[in-house]
Structure 1
Amino acid sequence: MTSDAFGTAALRAAVLGAWRALPARLREDANTEEDHARGYYRDRVLVELAQNAADAAARTGVPGRLLLRLVHADGGTVLVAANTGDSLDAEGVASLASMRASSKRPDGRHRSVGRFGVGFAAVRAVADEVSVLSTSGGVRFSVADTAELLAQAAADLPALADEVRRRDGQLPALRLPLPADGRPPSGYDTAVVLRLRDEVAADEVRGLLRDVGDPLLLGLPSLVEVLVEDLTSDAPARRIADVEQRWVVASDEGELPLALLADRPVEERAARDWRVTWALPRHGTDPATRVVHAPTPTDEPSSVPALLVATLPLDPTRRHVASGPLTDAMLDHAADVYARLATEVAATGGDALALVPTGFAAGVLDGDLRGRLVERLTRTPLLRPADAGDAPDAVLVAPGNALALLGPAGHDGRALAALGRRLAGLVRLPPGRDAQARTVGVELRSLADVVEDLPGVVDGEWRDLYDALTGLAGDPQAREALGALPVPLADGRVVRGARGTLVLPGALAERLGPEVWRTLGRWGVRVVDPAAEHPVLLRLGAVDVDAAGVLAHPAVRQAVLTQADDDDLAAADEVTDAVLALVAATTRDDDTPPPPWLGLLTLDAADGEPTPADGLVVPGSVAARLLDERVMAPVALAALDRWDERTLTAVGVRADLVPVRVDDVLVDPLALDPDAQDDAALAARSLDGWEDYLAHLAERLGAGAYVGEATAVADLDAVADGAWPDVLERLATVPRLRRALVEPVRAELGGTAPSYTAWWLRERAGLGLAGPFAIRAAVAGVLPPVPDVLAGLDEGVQRALGGVTAFDELDGPAWSALLAGWGPAGSPVPPAVAVAVWAAMAPDHPPELVPAVVGPGVVALTHAEDAAVAGAPMWCQRTDVAAIVPAADPRLLADLLDVPLVDELADGLVGGDPGETADVPEAVLAVLPDAPATWVEHEDLLVDGTPVEWWVEGTGAVAVVHAVHLEGLAAGLAQAAGRWADRYVVEALLAEPGRAATVALDAAWRAPQER
């Protein structure tokens, strides 16, 4: 027999009485139950049961434990939801049977989660038979029993009967409680038992059970454990507890001002306490964070990467948050708690920026919440300073006060730490958090911007800074960004950017001293402080140099060039001291000429007069002996005492004759600028007559020719009287001087010309070297002998100064001089000399006299206007036409001499007796295969009416050879065959045909090209 411990009979009577009195109440209750069960709560059955369990545990102050068990029983599927906590009582039964009132009123000790007593109605979504069994008793609700009771109540009330009939079984079962027997499972105080309506409902509940997880405990803090058992399937039992192990949780609670509840329903106004919980998954993400929990899941979407559980006011559907002042206040509290959650994450070394929402808001509520979160996070210290490393006690920086590096530089720990020690507010950002950082106000800056803000004073920690930046310098973009890196200089300044600075070895920097560095610094030479020397500076554009590298700096050169114009003697001395100190520290090859601008460095002469270095000589030196001291004064002894001879000669003071090098020589004397200060112009300062020499080169190589480099011996115009023999001896024996004398200059596109030194000695020294002279017997008697001043010097020097060994060595001007000075017209010329002259002759302009054939075997000087060039030997018989100049290339020589070709002056027509044709002997044709096979023998042979001994018309095998005797026939056949040198062999064969075998053997000793 079921006991009625909770007065259910009275409750049923009251409800049935109300329905009988007003059938419309039945419709209202039925509609309300159906709306809550099937509309509002269909997918919230387990949530509502858990919520009731949490409230029961909270009321008694015990840890809430919930059992959700699905079993097969009595031919169906049953869901058991058992919980610890408050047992069922009469007030609770009345609340269960009421659709609009709840027994869960605030009592000052706890806040209930459920409201209005409507959550329990969710069970109707899946069950028509519901039991609530407690240690104190039980009740049940049944659609079937409700229908039976209504049938009895409506027996005499047609209106009520019609309403029952019209609802077709959709009746308010939860309004009529019935006594029930049974007890909850062991260890639990109350159990809700649902006989599921059908298999569809069972599948739905089974799916809800699978979804039960940590968010249920996070939303219902009174619950500490949920057991899920699906005994209808093979799914293993699950125990959900200890959520703090899987979630980082931050919570807060308090009491709301009464004014905020003024627009809420009466039942809520007494519930002034509030609570907010944020939970962040320790690993990965959780789908529960996608909606707001209030405290159970709502339909409000969330884009915040943590789960929000808060006592937000809901609309009647309990699926959406109601807008208004109360919601705004709760969102403010939520933002404050969220900031504490972020602080906890940051304090434990976590990625606090992962909590910053980015992208678009998921809805109106989400947008309102996100704005508050971003505002709080901006002011909350969350970020580790860049120089904090892993120190646990690091003082975190609020994003609004922070700056961070963009790109790979922002993740280089060493670089960040070094930069952070020098820039306040620089923080470390986790990879991929640029968007989040920007959202909360972190100033994101490029490496270049950060480097520009680095202070110029780093308290001697330069190398530490550079060492930390070494890893960045390997990336081209980062290397460019480091372009404004502060660099301390040896003169005490700090400049921005390593590019163009000079890095010297420490020992050298110490040797030169601070005074030199300060002087160089005023000139714009930026030498890195040795204490800051580091390889990274070289990667960023600094130049690793020695003292010579500093000396080559344009600023040093400019200081020397302007020294002469400085009226401040102290400033001029400062330039001299600094430059000489650099030169003294320079390792130099003595054969390498110093830069020409160094010769302008001002030094004191022995008489105290400030003088350019290249106008001074070292006392007692070779230069002092060879050069006139009126032109080249000795340097002051004080300078020699302070600076050694090597240092002084390195800046141009002469200890010997010196070669200078003029670079980029363009043969254009008109382009010379007397005020030019380029190296070429400065080098030419000490070369007397340089402009005239360029004019000479223009004649030889053509105006505009590019010579490139020319080396010349300087100061030749300062040679002392009587010193020329010694000077010439030195030029001949000192290798670097000899090269400047004997090596010609060469044009880029071809052609050579004498060196400046050779030209000056021949043209301006007054040594009698203006014309060519004979070195060997081949040209002796035609050219003058070696001048006395060159006697004893080697042939190479003599040749450079105009000596020749053969006529083909003469250049154009020498030829012109030779032909002009040979003697008067009619002077005989030895035939051998004439042949050599004809083969090599190449004057630079047409001569007045030329050697020419004036008779058989006779050569004499002839006026060019009486001469003609002949390309065939037979014309030497026609001296009646002109004096004949033989030539292998007649037209070229005729152009050089500006004379006509002889065949332009005579027709060369054969006359006299007609002659007789005869065969050329076979022995001759064997020697001259290209000769004609016949010839014409004459008693008298005339050409243009002039008697000759032989003549040839045409060439080769088709030529016609005319002759009056065998000697002439041999000459004619040899010319026709192009074998003039074989004419005497042919003549011998013609005279003695039997010598053919001997002549054939002679070919074995001829050169291949002669055979």
Structure 2
Amino acid sequence: MTTDVFGTAALRGAVLEAWRASPTRLREDANTEEDHARGYYRDRVLVELAQNAADAATRAAVGGRLLLRLATTDEGTAVLVAANTGAPLDAAGVASLASLRASAKRDAGTGTVGRFGVGFAAVRAVSDEIMVASTTGAVRFSLVDTLQTLEETAAQEAAQGRPTLADEVRRRDGSLPVLRLPWPTEARSPSGYDTAVVLELRDEVVRDEVRSLLEAVDDVLLLALPGLVEVLVDVEGAAPRRLADVHDRWDVLTAEGEVPLALVADRPVEQRGARSWRVTWALPRGAATQVPHVVHAPTPTDEPCSLPALLVATLPLDPSRRHVAPGPLTDEVLACAGLAYAALVGRVAAEGQDATALVPTGLAAGPVDSVLRERALDALVRTPLLVPASPQDDLVAPLRATTVRDLTDRAAVAALGAVVAGLVRVPPSGAAAVRALGVEERTLAEVVDELPTGGDVDWPTLYDALDGAAQDATAREGLASLPVPLVDGRVVRGPRGVVLLDDDLTALAPATLVALREWGLRVADPAAARPLLARLGAQRVDAAALLAHPALRAAVLGQADDDDLEHADDVTAAVLDVVRAAGTVPASAAGWLGLLTLDAADGEPAPAHGLVLPGGPAARLLDQRVLAPVAADAVERWGRDVLVAVGVRDDLVVTTVPDVVAGVVPDDEGDDGASLAAASLDGWAQYVDELAEVLGVGSYCGDVPAVADLDAVDDARWPELLAHLAGTPALRTALVTPVRGEGATAAGPSYTAWWLRTRADLPLPEVFALPGACGLPAALVPPVPDVLAALDADVLRALGGVGSLAEVPAARWPAVLERLGPDGASVPLDVAGHVWRAWAAGAGPDEPPAVLVALTAPGVAHVVPDAVVADDPRWWQRAGAHDVPVVPVPVSGADDDAAARVADLLDLPLASSQGDGDVAGDGEPEDVPESLVALLPDAPAVWWRHDELHVGGADVGWWVVGAGAQAHVHAVHVAGLASGLAWASGRWGARGAIEALLADPDDAEAALSLVLG
């Protein structure tokens, strides 16, 4: 006999009595159980069984263990067993199971989960035969027994004239409230467990559903029900699964407390006493673990949750237990959940993990999620969770954090973090998170603008860290106002305009650095000089570049106007210090450095280029009244090399004038290189005018080297100086190298050669003959002056020496002609011949000369003011006819235009244009000897003899009209006939041989000469 330890008979009797009294109550109970089984709890049988197990463990204050087993009985029935440890079943529990919404856990205290007394109805979704066995007894619920009992009861009612109950049972067709009628039974829970729920599964479909639910059981069940410490899942045909030690796999944070009474005033009566709240957040420790995206209260609801963590909270639910009930209690619990979530995120961040991945971004998934995200963000902004840019700092709360929007370089951000409070480093994936948290986003330029210019800032480390970021053009713009410490202790903003001293300037004296500052140079502290500053526009200079800096030039040029002698001395010392560091002086600085003020030996200040070093070639060759010796203490302090580098003369120096243009003089008030160089050279304006005459005005000549200080040469030292110029390579080059202009065919003299010829106190003719030159009679070109006798040919050429008249420059031809004497002077034919041959070769004056040498009669030459140019040798005979001198042109068989060129060169007319070539009288024709015709195939066979021959009113000895075999040769004697035949046959050079054959046809030597010539 089964013992009714839980008073199930009384419970059944009370329920049946209620149904008898009101069949509608049966209908209500059946509908409610059906709603829960098929609606609210249709897929929650495992969760509800686990919840009851957790509550039993909590009531017994033990760690709850739950067994979920799917098996098949010997009869082939599928059975789900849910066994648990904890408080065993008692009469109140049975009464609760057999009732609806009347939980026995109303006064169970804090920690229990079930609150409504309806969760057990979930078993009806899968089973019609339910048994609960405990150490204290067992009960069962059965659809078969319930139907049989109702049918018996309905029959009794119908027999008494009350068929309503029977009608309702019949109408329900087996859909009855099974859980309202408990029966005692004899059963015990499995060994090791205190209570077991055994469910005979309705059919194979239900069995498959339950199997799927069991396979889905995971850590979330333990997290949602903290009363459980172990869940063992044993599915027939599969290996058992044990879930425990959930905290090893999840990072869990739980917060709890009690809400004010006012917040539960609108809740149902039986819930108003439940003022305690509890919130649990769980984050998986492994990336592979999935987080359910629904709110758990504590069992899963249908409220979506977009936060990347599991939320289990004591939120009030609607009757379906699938949605959170709105109201002040929900708002309060969600606010507590937001605070707890922020605490969990802060703890994760403190452990070194990226907390930005846990910040809610994007759109909310629902109303509850929206409130939850809002409360979480409110708490997160005050939670230290962002990684500081500086590793030495603590985590930063978003409320006081700053990010640099356009800077991604980690090292650069870290370096800025050391000097910018609240600067945080955010991974690219965290961009949306920091925006959601309202973190202040600033540009790199804004951060840099607020960097401190005082305090203890490690500038070198900061610069090195920012250098990688500065590879990007946008970042360089943002760093434009980066502070830069200067050598004088100041800190300025922006590297542009700052000077970085190279290694060769590290030994500069402190006074020099002070001077550089006074001159306007912003010199960076050498300890902070880094490549970044140069990348951002700072000028890195070595000593040579510093010498070329405008500030040094301005300081030197300003010395002349400085009445403060002590300050002038400071400028000199600073510049010389830089020169000493440089070792050499750039060409661009040589001009103005020569203006640096130094003390002469007599104590008077003078520009450097106005002083000489004692004992050097300059001191020996130059007049000390013009260039004084430099003070001995300056030589001792700075050394000869430094003084020479700034312009003090140890030797004669070559000054290069840049970008010379013929006929253009640089501004003498300018301080550029060309103006300063030109101003130091005596007669430069006259020299460029000379170049303009030779090369053409505006001809670009490039850089022109010139020997300086020639106007300061000691008059007694000229021979020695000339030898020194010729023997010193740099000086020699400046002397012998001609100047050439773009597009000009002629070459101009070097400045040094021009100055020595035109301005030196030397007995130099404009042109003279080189030693050993042939064909240059002294009547035309004088010999080398004695003062130049020891010089070589190249130097002599530069100073005016020529080897032939063809080498005489056009501008010096007037000097050559002047040597022939005044107008009317007789000129030997051999001297005149040199001149005529030179003119025929193309040499001559560039303008028509004032006097000429010409034939005033055949074989007689004089100096004349005017003449005509003979077209050919015929016209030589008319020299002096009608008082017209004739300039003969040497005949060359290959050059028929020589006469025209000479006429153009001398601006003279041709003789043929001034008189006709008509022959007066016919003459007597005679045959040319046959032997001669045989030797001259191009000569005519007949000639005309005249007793007197007149052409154009002038007496001549011969004349030819025409050319070749058809020419008419006229002559008055044998010599004339020979000249006529020679000209007619094109054999002018053979006229002597022809004359010999005319006199003696048997002259074999003459015949051979004619044949071979």
Q: TM-score range by the shorter chain?
A: 0.7 to 0.9
| Aligned pairs for 1:733-752 within 5 A | 733-751=727-745, 752=747
Superposition deviation, residue 918 in structure 1: 13
2:783 aligned counterpart, secondary structure: coil
1:840 corresponds to 2:831: no
Find the counterpart in structure 2 of residue 400 from structure 1.
Answer: 399
Partners of 2:150 and 2:918 in 1: CA distance: 161
Partners of 1:833 and 1:655 in 2: CA distance: 47
Find the counterpart in structure 1 of residue 974 from structure 2.
Answer: none
Find the counterpart in structure 1 of residue 192 from structure 2.
Answer: 187
Find the counterpart in structure 2 of residue 1006 from structure 1.
Answer: none
Q: Is the 8 A contact 1:411 1:429 kept in 2?
A: no
Q: Is the 8 A contact 2:479 2:536 kept in 1?
A: yes
1:681 aligned counterpart, secondary structure: helix
Q: Is the 8 A contact 1:820 1:848 kept in 2?
A: no
1:790 corresponds to 2:788: yes
Find the counterpart in structure 2 of residue 897 from structure 1.
Answer: 906
1:811 corresponds to 2:801: no
| Aligned pairs for 1:931-946 within 5 A | 936-940=940-944
Residue 576 of structure 2 aligns with an amino acid whose one-letter code is L
Partners of 1:119 and 1:514 in 2: CA distance: 90
Q: Is the 8 A contact 1:924 1:986 kept in 2?
A: no
Q: Is the 8 A contact 2:588 2:673 kept in 1?
A: no
Partners of 1:876 and 1:2 in 2: CA distance: 173
| Aligned pairs for 1:433-452 within 5 A | 433-445=430-442, 449-452=446-449
Partners of 1:285 and 1:854 in 2: CA distance: 125
1:379 aligned counterpart, secondary structure: coil
Superposition deviation, residue 811 in structure 1: 2.7
Residue 907 of structure 2 aligns with an amino acid whose one-letter code is D
Unaligned 5+ segments in structure 1 are: 926-932, 1004-1011
Distance 1:193-1:723 versus aligned 2 partners, 3 A rule: same
Equivalent residue pairs, number: 974
Superposition deviation, residue 248 in structure 1: 0.9
Find the counterpart in structure 1 of residue 429 from structure 2.
Answer: 432
Partners of 1:280 and 1:32 in 2: CA distance: 38
Find the counterpart in structure 2 of residue 237 from structure 1.
Answer: 240
Find the counterpart in structure 2 of residue 928 from structure 1.
Answer: none
Q: Is the 8 A contact 1:624 1:634 kept in 2?
A: yes
Superposition deviation, residue 321 in structure 1: 1.8
Residue 124 of structure 1 aligns with an amino acid whose one-letter code is R
1:548 corresponds to 2:557: no
Partners of 1:784 and 1:72 in 2: CA distance: 143
Partners of 1:315 and 1:917 in 2: CA distance: 153
Residue 403 of structure 1 aligns with an amino acid whose one-letter code is T
Partners of 1:332 and 1:321 in 2: CA distance: 14
Superposition deviation, residue 517 in structure 1: 0.7
Superposition deviation, residue 678 in structure 1: 0.7
Distance 1:995-1:722 versus aligned 2 partners, 3 A rule: closer
Instruction: Tell me which of 647, 650, 655 is aligned to 1:655.
Output: 650
Find the counterpart in structure 1 of residue 296 from structure 2.
Answer: 293
Find the counterpart in structure 2 of residue 705 from structure 1.
Answer: 699
Q: 170-179 or 56-65, which moves further after superposition?
A: 170-179
Partners of 1:808 and 1:164 in 2: CA distance: 148
1:528-557, Cα deviation, whole Å (9 max, x unpaired): 434445566566665665433322222111
1:105 aligned counterpart, secondary structure: coil
Find the counterpart in structure 2 of residue 522 from structure 1.
Answer: 518
Q: 767-776 or 322-331, which moves further after superposition?
A: 767-776
Partners of 2:374 and 2:595 in 1: CA distance: 74
2:81 aligned counterpart, secondary structure: strand
Q: Is the 8 A contact 1:525 1:553 kept in 2?
A: no
Instruction: Tell me which of 776, 779, 790 is aligned to 1:779.
Output: 776
Superposition deviation, residue 861 in structure 1: 5.4
Find the counterpart in structure 1 of residue 754 from structure 2.
Answer: 759
Superposition deviation, residue 254 in structure 1: 1.2
Distance 1:212-1:298 versus aligned 2 partners, 3 A rule: same
Superposition deviation, residue 710 in structure 1: 1.1
| Aligned pairs for 1:52-71 within 5 A | 52-71=52-71
Q: Is the 8 A contact 1:853 1:885 kept in 2?
A: no
Find the counterpart in structure 2 of residue 82 from structure 1.
Answer: 83
Distance 1:481-1:982 versus aligned 2 partners, 3 A rule: farther
1:353 corresponds to 2:350: no
Find the counterpart in structure 1 of residue 226 from structure 2.
Answer: 221
Superposition deviation, residue 488 in structure 1: 3.6
Q: Is the 8 A contact 2:969 2:981 kept in 1?
A: yes
Superposition deviation, residue 249 in structure 1: 0.9
Find the counterpart in structure 1 of residue 973 from structure 2.
Answer: none
Find the counterpart in structure 1 of residue 594 from structure 2.
Answer: 599
Query: What TM-score comes out, normalization by structure 2 length?
Result: 0.86
2:576 aligned counterpart, secondary structure: helix
Q: Is the 8 A contact 1:713 1:757 kept in 2?
A: yes
Partners of 2:1009 and 2:301 in 1: CA distance: 129
Partners of 2:486 and 2:106 in 1: CA distance: 80
Distance 1:922-1:140 versus aligned 2 partners, 3 A rule: farther
Instruction: Tell me which of 329, 333, 338 is aligned to 2:336.
Output: 333
Partners of 2:868 and 2:457 in 1: CA distance: 92
Q: Is the 8 A contact 2:958 2:980 kept in 1?
A: no
Superposition deviation, residue 161 in structure 1: 3.8
1:600 aligned counterpart, secondary structure: coil
Find the counterpart in structure 2 of residue 411 from structure 1.
Answer: 410
1:777 aligned counterpart, secondary structure: coil
Instruction: Tell me which of 621, 639, 643 is aligned to 1:644.
Output: 639
Instruction: Tell me which of 212, 216, 231 is aligned to 1:211.
Output: 216
Partners of 2:932 and 2:172 in 1: CA distance: 152
1:114 corresponds to 2:101: no
Partners of 2:445 and 2:581 in 1: CA distance: 37
Residue 585 of structure 1 aligns with an amino acid whose one-letter code is A
Partners of 2:388 and 2:422 in 1: CA distance: 7
1:656-691, Cα deviation, whole Å (9 max, x unpaired): 33221111223352x632321111101112112222
Partners of 1:983 and 1:267 in 2: CA distance: 157
1:50-101, Cα deviation, whole Å (9 max, x unpaired): 1121111111111111222222344443322222222222222222222222
Superposition deviation, residue 738 in structure 1: 1.9
Partners of 1:915 and 1:327 in 2: CA distance: 153
Partners of 2:523 and 2:212 in 1: CA distance: 77
Partners of 1:326 and 1:994 in 2: CA distance: 152
Partners of 2:168 and 2:950 in 1: CA distance: 160
Distance 1:596-1:270 versus aligned 2 partners, 3 A rule: same
Q: Is the 8 A contact 1:816 1:844 kept in 2?
A: no
Distance 1:551-1:408 versus aligned 2 partners, 3 A rule: same
Superposition deviation, residue 565 in structure 1: 1.8
2:790 aligned counterpart, secondary structure: coil
Distance 1:588-1:507 versus aligned 2 partners, 3 A rule: closer
1:934-979, Cα deviation, whole Å (9 max, x unpaired): 664331399987885556659xxxx96666778756655558xxxx
Q: 380-389 or 705-714, which moves further after superposition?
A: 380-389
1:308 corresponds to 2:315: no
Unaligned 5+ segments in structure 2 are: 971-976
Distance 1:125-1:549 versus aligned 2 partners, 3 A rule: same
Superposition deviation, residue 259 in structure 1: 0.9
Partners of 1:685 and 1:133 in 2: CA distance: 122
Query: What TM-score comes out, normalization by structure 1 length?
Result: 0.86
1:177 corresponds to 2:193: no
Find the counterpart in structure 2 of residue 1007 from structure 1.
Answer: none
Q: Is the 8 A contact 1:298 1:318 kept in 2?
A: yes
| Aligned pairs for 1:321-720 within 5 A | 321-388=324-391, 395-405=394-404, 410-412=409-411, 418-430=415-427, 432-445=429-442, 449-457=446-454, 459=456, 461-466=458-463, 468=465, 484-498=481-495, 501-504=498-501, 508-510=505-507, 512-532=508-528, 545-588=541-584, 595-619=590-614, 621-669=616-664, 672-720=666-714
Distance 1:517-1:460 versus aligned 2 partners, 3 A rule: farther
Partners of 2:929 and 2:663 in 1: CA distance: 66
Q: Is the 8 A contact 1:906 1:944 kept in 2?
A: no
1:350-375, Cα deviation, whole Å (9 max, x unpaired): 22232222222222222222222222
2:704 aligned counterpart, secondary structure: strand
Partners of 2:927 and 2:126 in 1: CA distance: 149
Partners of 1:728 and 1:789 in 2: CA distance: 9
Residue 99 of structure 1 aligns with an amino acid whose one-letter code is L
Partners of 1:454 and 1:962 in 2: CA distance: 109
1:720-764, Cα deviation, whole Å (9 max, x unpaired): 444433333332222222222221223244553111222222223
Q: Is the 8 A contact 2:258 2:275 kept in 1?
A: yes
Superposition deviation, residue 288 in structure 1: 2.8
Partners of 2:996 and 2:42 in 1: CA distance: 141
